[in-house]
Amino acid sequence: MIKVSVMYPNNPGARFDHDYYRDKHMPLLKARLGDKCKYYTIDKGLAGGAPGAPATYVGMCHIFCETVEDFQTGFGPHAKEIMGDIANYTDLQPVIQISEVVVGH
């Protein structure tokens, strides 16, 4: 299993519409990926590690797929539409990482 993490840095003054992200963008992504996306999670940043520190990321999602190839073949044909929707909820540039899920409980 792999996890695609899409993280949005918590830059002062940046725009991020959590409702749109939850209600429109992520359902769009899931619909386009279909069965290639086993499930996804959405995180809303609350705080950093030190007391009083701001969250490193204002928001993020984690998309779970069986393989990198599954993600790429599911996302690729719809990349323009999905990436084009980003402007509807943020002016931030996402940080993306693909990881192997080693353990899950």
Contact between 65 and 39 under an 8 Å Cβ cutoff? The reply is no
Residues 74-103: tens digit of each pLDDT: 999 999 999 999 999 999 999 999 999 998
* Domains and their CATH numbers in the chain: 11-54+64-99 (3.30.70.100)
Proportion of the chain in helix, strand, coil states, percent, rounded to 5: 35, 30, 35
* pTM as predicted: 0.93
Per-residue pLDDT at 105:
73
